[in-house]
Structure 1
Amino acid sequence: MAKVKVSLRPIVSNLNLPTVLKTAIHPDDSTERLFIATQVGEIFYIGNGVIKTFLDIRQQIIKLGANGGYDERGLLGLAFHPDFHNNHLFYLYYSVAGTQGVGALLGAPPEPFQPNPCDPKTLNLKWINREIQFDHINTVEEWILPSNSQPQKQRTLLNIRRPFANHNGVNSLNFSPETGKLVLTTGDGGSGYDPFNLSQDDMEIAGKIIEIDVDKPTFIDNPPVVTRFNELPIPIQETLTVIAKGIRNVPGISFQKFYNQYIKYVGNVGQDFVESIFSFIQYKPIPVTQLVQASLMKSDTDQEGFINFGWRGWEGAFPTSVPKECSTNPDLIEKTIAYYDEALKTSIRRLQPLTSYYHEDPRADKFRATALTGVQPYMGTEIPNLSGAVVFTDLARKEESELPVRGALAYTKVRIDSKLSDFNVIEIDYNFGSQSAYYVSLGTNLNQTRLFLGVYGSMKVTDSNQGKLFEIVP
């Protein structure tokens, strides 16, 4: 793969943390506009060179940053109906104000859970008392933009109780150009190492990629708050299919047209060692009603063609391991397989990554990763060496631990032989000065010929107005 160097063209600054960047044809003027959603609950769009407020739901967002400023909750999903120009419908995914709970592990230390392979009790934890022991509630809502009026909420599609504050996903709502359905990508519920193994449990909503048929009316004013598919009313179950399981935390799903079919790309944020990007074309979604029926009958569903990313038994292409500093040499790390039995169980059925990049990488032309924050195909021609490639962002390069921090931009390509692909770092010709630059979001326009990068000057959502938005240009 060729070396690529790009520049950044500033579009807007002084934003709160931008979580979603995407374009849509605005009903009022029939022009494709760039929309920006911020974690704290604002949505803006760029019109005639001016940034305008589209929607402000800050009062409906849970209080963010209470424990030091870092937070993974908030407004995390925005998607426009494929017929938005005519029906004016769009969709939101966010953490609801006033739903703060105590967490799923009462009395646990603030550090994320870590399993001990020598203590079986730590490998088989159960999430109990769910109506009391949870962190917050996320909701998926349908909104409408009436002509010459303010956006209004139409209905709630899902209310999901989450065990921990983290792993809610980001850029979590996207419409599939194949099925026309709304795709929800979230995460395993949080903490570390998926302590309750929610991602592999077919009944759990956590750790899945879910299609929602928004064109089916559900006629339920206030859907119940749930954690499992079988807790949903049947009319809602009938709108849902599951594409994949084994998700740790996902920055959205993206689609790249390839002849008469679509390649789907999903990035899975890693635990301690590796960040991974997966791709697939063919898949066999399972209706939620079928999963629930199989659970009631205590029978197995046919999962041939169903996508499994392998978590928690696998972290990318590797069995999930617990790192421990070697007592004899602190520079070395001992790695013990955390869930050996589960790694065996999912070893054949899981999907292999398209590419992985690592938290520790000694190669001179690579970087040490922190967390994957965006995955987007690029179909433009202005940056020829990126045409047809998959571009991705990482929050922060670890080798630049001294301030100012810099994120990472890189790309990979699907190999004809379907083998694991390497990646190249994209060099950026832009001077951020003395301010840190965490790469927090990546977006494209409708035909994927333009790329947009969201940058923040801090990892704390409570540090306001430190966001910048750029277009990636030659």
Structure 2
Amino acid sequence: MIKVKVRLRPVVSKINLPTVLKTTIPPGDSMERLFIATQVGEIFYIGNSSVRTFLDIRSRIIKLGSSEPGVSGRGYDERGLLGMAFHPQFNYNSLFYLHYSVAGTQGPGALSEHFKPDPCDPGTLNLRWINRETQYDHIDTVEEWILQSNGQPQKRRTLLNLRRPFFNHNGVNTLNFSPETGKLVLTTGDGGAGYDPFNLSQDNMEIAGKIIEIDVDKNTFFDNPPVVTRFNELPVPIQETLTVIAKGVRNIPGIQFQRVYNQFIKFVGNVGQDLAESIFSFVHYKPIPITQLIQASLRNTEPELEGLINFGWRGWEGAFPTSTIRGCTQNPTLVEKTIAYYNEAVKTSVSRLQPLTSYFHKDPRPDKFGGTALTGVQAYMGNGIPDLTGGVVFTDLARDGESPAKGVLAYTRVRTDGKLSDFSVIETDYNFGSQSAYYVSLGTNLNQTRLFLGVYGSMKVTDFNQGSVFEIVL
């Protein structure tokens, strides 16, 4: 692939960790503005070269990075303000949507000890999430807001309240509107821990581990719906607003759409476990109404899932059967990889979607890199960086083994022959010096001709004001 070099042009610095970067034209404005959401609950926008506050919901966000049960206690956290999306008609109807972890909802977590599957112990392969109303980590909410005529945003209604088993794998950049259906798309992670202990991602009734469409034009007349974990726990009017696009999700940095002639290619990144990070692409799919899945469950029959996308997790980690890793006792420089869930890998081997590309945590090839976690995927349709036009740009949190830590920018392209696509590292000119530079988010403007990169100087959300946003330019 062509070697690409770019510059990082600073847009804003000394902000908190930027989780979402996207543009919109605000009501009463004629210009597209860049909006930045931070993990701790602030939303800024760039207006006339100055940074302005759009909304501050820090008081609504769960206490992040604390040492309460179920949290790492080291300041690292995957909760907070996770999703922000503007209605396609935001300029006229002033509606926008937020997904965040709710203050005061801290629970003990669904498991009391670290989980790792053991093929020699079937009990570890068939765990169930029980006592859900008490054994959970926190509650996430998806809300509709409106920008009032006085310039002040106000919450209108709650669309979903979701109980989550663990503190991690809640997704990031989780809300995006589909240009095909006009619906709000929510990308939910599998609920966390590691290895999806309860196999929520493949269970058709579980909300975790899915990509869901929400018809926000339908009024359910539920201002504050019940807190749920399964689709069949939702009131019927809410069920009727939901369809499922995909399952088998581990953790996702959003879904993106690339228009090619009269159809859209969808791109989804799935964060890996121990071996690989993967990007998937698909054009054709058939969204399955939640009501249809529930009826099949009540009848104890297999639902018609033709057209439903399945990324294969937890049986598959990208192109590999999901594996556990342990060191070799005879040779500490080597590791042994054991298939974690053989039966599930077999079950989903036919129905799963092959990735467009995968990159690996350990890669011996000289022109590649060892990754940590996929943090963003964006199609690029601009001409400003000609060698990237029509390509798919992605970011990884930090290159394996590099100190100080620095993220990676790379790109790939869609293939039509069904083979795994190769990828190429994009070289950047910016000198971060002795400061760590984790690449935490990737964004684009409305017509995908500009790319924005979110960078943070620490892995700890409790280390404040270490964030920067750059525009990627030639």
Query: Is TM-score (shorter-chain normalized) higher than 0.5?
Result: yes
Whole-Å Cα distance in 2 between the matches of residues 409 and 324 of structure 1? 29
2:5 is matched with 5
1:385 is matched with 387
1:414 is matched with 414
Whole-Å Cα distance in 1 between the matches of residues 31 and 401 of structure 2? 42
In the alignment, does 2:182 pair up with 1:180?
A: yes
2:82 is matched with 76
Whole-Å Cα distance in 2 between the matches of residues 11 and 340 of structure 1? 48
Equivalent position SS for 1:13: strand
Whole-Å Cα distance in 2 between the matches of residues 239 and 305 of structure 1? 19
Whole-Å Cα distance in 1 between the matches of residues 224 and 373 of structure 2? 35
Residue in structure 1 matching 2:152, options 150, 153, 157? 150
Q: Give the superposition deviation at 1:147.
A: 1.4
Q: TM-score normalised to the size of structure 2? A: 0.98
Whole-Å Cα distance in 1 between the matches of residues 471 and 49 of structure 2? 14
Equivalent position SS for 1:385: helix
| 1:28–1:147 CA contact under 8 A, matched in 2 | no
Q: Which region of structure 1 is more displaced relative to structure 2, 152-161 or 140-149? A: 140-149
1:44 is matched with 44
Q: Give the superposition deviation at 1:418.
A: 2.8
1:94 is matched with 100
Q: Give the superposition deviation at 1:331.
A: 0.9
Residue in structure 2 matching 1:104, options 106, 110, 124? 110
Whole-Å Cα distance in 2 between the matches of residues 418 and 118 of structure 1? 35
Whole-Å Cα distance in 1 between the matches of residues 463 and 190 of structure 2? 27
Please report the RMSD computed on the Cα atoms of aligned residues, expressed in angstroms. 0.6
Q: Give the superposition deviation at 1:416.
A: 2.5
Equivalent position SS for 1:199: coil
Whole-Å Cα distance in 2 between the matches of residues 434 and 71 of structure 1? 24
Matched residue type, 2:218? K
Matches within 5 A, 1:171-250: 171-250=173-252
Equivalent position SS for 1:250: coil
| 1:308–1:351 CA contact under 8 A, matched in 2 | yes
| 1:437–1:456 CA contact under 8 A, matched in 2 | yes
Aligned length: 468
Residue in structure 1 matching 2:169, options 164, 167, 170? 167
Percent identity at matched positions? 78
Equivalent position SS for 1:294: helix
Whole-Å Cα distance in 2 between the matches of residues 71 and 120 of structure 1? 31
Whole-Å Cα distance in 2 between the matches of residues 448 and 88 of structure 1? 22
Whole-Å Cα distance in 1 between the matches of residues 352 and 433 of structure 2? 44
Equivalent position SS for 1:63: coil
2:70 is matched with none
Matched residue type, 1:77? G
Matched residue type, 2:90? F
Matched residue type, 1:325? G
In the alignment, does 2:450 pair up with 1:444?
A: no
Whole-Å Cα distance in 1 between the matches of residues 363 and 44 of structure 2? 38
Residue in structure 1 matching 2:286, options 284, 287, 291? 284
Whole-Å Cα distance in 2 between the matches of residues 73 and 423 of structure 1? 30
Whole-Å Cα distance in 2 between the matches of residues 361 and 335 of structure 1? 15
In the alignment, does 2:369 pair up with 1:367?
A: yes
Q: Give the superposition deviation at 1:149.
A: 2.8
1:296 is matched with 298
Equivalent position SS for 1:171: coil
Matched residue type, 1:434? S
Whole-Å Cα distance in 1 between the matches of residues 5 and 149 of structure 2? 43
Q: Give the superposition deviation at 1:28.
A: 2.8
Runs of 4+ in 1 over 4 A off after TM superposition: none
2:27 is matched with 27
Q: Give the superposition deviation at 1:442.
A: 0.1
Q: Give the superposition deviation at 1:348.
A: 0.5
Matched residue type, 2:187? T
1:466 is matched with 466
Whole-Å Cα distance in 2 between the matches of residues 329 and 418 of structure 1? 38
Matched residue type, 2:96? F
Whole-Å Cα distance in 1 between the matches of residues 195 and 136 of structure 2? 17
Whole-Å Cα distance in 1 between the matches of residues 338 and 120 of structure 2? 10
Deviations 1:101-125 (A, max 9, x none): 00001x32xx4x2111110011100
1:423 is matched with 423
Residue in structure 1 matching 2:137, options 115, 135, 148? 135
Structure 1: 5+ residue stretches without partners: none
In the alignment, does 2:318 pair up with 1:312?
A: no
Equivalent position SS for 2:201: helix
Whole-Å Cα distance in 2 between the matches of residues 260 and 117 of structure 1? 47
Whole-Å Cα distance in 1 between the matches of residues 388 and 401 of structure 2? 25
Equivalent position SS for 1:46: strand
Equivalent position SS for 2:401: helix
Q: Give the superposition deviation at 1:394.
A: 0.1
Whole-Å Cα distance in 1 between the matches of residues 330 and 338 of structure 2? 17
Q: Give the superposition deviation at 1:300.
A: 0.9
Matched residue type, 2:293? L
Matched residue type, 2:50? V
Equivalent position SS for 1:235: helix
Whole-Å Cα distance in 2 between the matches of residues 149 and 21 of structure 1? 21
1:251 is matched with 253
Equivalent position SS for 1:381: coil
Matches within 5 A, 1:333-348: 333-348=335-350
Deviations 1:296-336 (A, max 9, x none): 01011111111000000000011001101111011111111
Whole-Å Cα distance in 2 between the matches of residues 250 and 95 of structure 1? 16
